[in-house]
Structure 1
Amino acid sequence: MDASKKPEVWLRGPVSGIPVLLQPAAHALLQSREEVFNYTEAFPEVLLWDKPAGRASVGFHLQHITGVLDRMLTYAEGKPLSEEQFEFLRREGKPTEDRKLANLTTDFSKKVDEALEIFKAIQDEILTQKRTVGRKKLPSTVLGLYFHAAEHSQRHIGQMLVTISVLKTD
């Protein structure tokens, strides 16, 4: 069945193997992945880096949701970001030869798969453990980081949809 004819992911029941407390985050990430592929299916590659009205490009949104998900998973492990992650952050929104639409959507899909595997392996008691975010070491928890990664992805998918809609009507 076409994903557009199915109910939203959160209305399809539990995601197999995911703990109850992480179901909302898993649903949001899976919804984000479906929407990424649905919204970009007929999107012209030539418009990937266009910034209508100075707003973020579709390419930026795709890079950013992948990068943020990766960074939140790292913080949830209690680890600092690597130099590779900082480099990825510095390059967000900057087009290069290897940053094609298919690569960006596939990268996000793989990162969602990685997150779901982490969710499946986690013990409930870990979810409330304190974690810090960024150089300022702002307070959070493992659950807070997973939730933020999921809701942040959804927020950027909405922004990306608007950008796609504007670019396709120009």
Structure 2
Amino acid sequence: MNRLAGCALALLLAAPCLAGDASGFDPAAIDRCLADASTQGTRADCAATGMEACLDYARGKYTGDDPDFPMANCLDASHQAWEAKLTGVYEAALKAQGKKDNGAQEMLRQAERSWLQFREDLCNQVRDAAAEGKGDLARARCIRDETARQVALLMALVDPR
């Protein structure tokens, strides 16, 4: 199994694969993007935040023969950062919904379970529709992007500006 296929499998299992290999990815970039959007009263699309710096770093350090490795590496690092952000925002949203005492927490739990299945199904379709040899990258990008969107949606439950 090549390294990119191993990464795709790790993403499928939601386990870190390459996180940390591309130390050019700065998870704080996500916080800055979200904070900037919040101060402007908007919800920005921050999914790709930090990717340019990560790719510059990864391309400078990687000397192998897989041209997709830097992108796979950075997508994985970005995805891991978004997953961590999602966990924190989801917990905050559960807490906020718990104050309503009307079954809102259970509805949110069910919605999150449904969303996880939706994300998997959608991103598997994206992988299957991608150009030959690019399916794993397309799926990884989809997982990252959908996770970032879910963070923004859940943030609205915590801070409904």
Between Structure 1 and Structure 2, which shows a larger proportion of strand residues?
Answer: 1
- What range describes the TM-score normalised by the shorter chain of this pair? 0.3 to 0.5
Q: TM-score, normalised by structure 2?
A: 0.43
Bigger relative contact order, structure 1 or 2, given CA contacts below 8 A and separation 6+?
A: 1
